[in-house]
Amino acid sequence: MNFKKTIQLVVNGAAVQRDVEPRTTLLDFLREDLGLSGTHMGCEHGVCGACAVLLDDAPVRSCCIFAVQADDQRVTTVEGLAPKRGQMSKLQDAFCEKHGLQCGYCTPGMLIACTALLAQHPQPTEAQVRDAISGNLCRCTGYQQIVDAVMYATTQGDARESI
């Protein structure tokens, strides 16, 4: 029995159309069908945040969404955060400056969560930053460097350029 459905999404600004099995998660669709492996697989049951993407600008867990549910929606992955090829967003640059990553596994999810935060609150408090990343686990940094990176990004001009 072929349950495949045709879905259309806009991913990082580009329109895509594919046939997918309904059981394919948005995470698997992005990684396997579209080759966008920047979004990472952690727990695959909604607790670690490594799979975070923006769905119509809101941060969501792509492991907790079937791709068919995201039909007609806009997705932004970590690959879509840079303003231009060869550049980094202010936030990505800040993560480099402030050592906001070590192994890098949680980093795409952190960038997504923090990009969404800065879009809503361009000058967040540390408490707001911690709250924004509270759904993302990091085993390496102890979080302080991530918070420092976000706070540093807010001092570097209009951080909203990152979307």
Partner 1 sequence: MKAAPFDYVRANHVQHALELLSQWAGEAKLIAGGQSMVPMMAMRLARPVCLVDIDRISELKQFQLHSEHVTLGAGVRQSSVENSAELCKALPLVAQALHWVGHQQTRNRGTVGGSLSYADPSAELPLASLVLGANMQLESASGGVRSVLASDFFLGPMFTALAEDECLTSIDWPVWQGAGISSCFEETAIRHGDFAMASAACQLQVDAHGKFTRLSFGVGGVDGTPLVFSDLAVQMHGQSLNEEAARELAHLAVSRSHPGTDIHANADYRKHLAAVLLHRVLLKAYQSACKSFITH
H or E element, residue 117: helix 107-120
Tell me the CA distances in angstroms from 65 to 45, 74, 132, one per residue in order.
Answer: 10, 14, 20
We find the least distance from the C-beta atom of residue 44 to partner 1, in angstroms, to be 6
Q: Is residue 142 part of the contact set for partner 1 (CB under 8 A)?
A: no
Of 33, 41, 44, 102, which lies in the binding site for partner 1, with binding defined by CB under 8 A? 44
Determine the size of the site formed for partner 1 (CB under 8 A).
31
Of residues 48-67, those binding partner 1 (CB under 8 A): 49, 52, 55, 58-61, 63-66
Of 19 and 97, the one with the shorter C-beta distance to partner 1 is 19
Q: At what angle do helices 90-97 and 144-153 cross, to 10 degrees?
A: 130
Q: Identify the burial level of 128 via C-beta atoms within 10 angstroms of its C-beta, where 0-12 means exposed, 13-18 middle and 19 or more buried.
A: middle
Residue with tokens 């540093």: 152
Residue closest to 104 by CA, chosen among 117, 95, 113: 95
The stretch among 31-39, 85-93, 128-136, 140-148 that binds partner 1 (CB under 8 A) is 128-136
Site for partner 1 in 6-35 (CB under 8 A): 21-23, 25, 28
Q: Residue numbers of the site for partner 1 (CB under 8 A)? A: 1, 3, 5, 21-23, 25, 28, 44-47, 49, 52, 55, 58-61, 63-66, 68-69, 71, 113, 131-132, 134-135
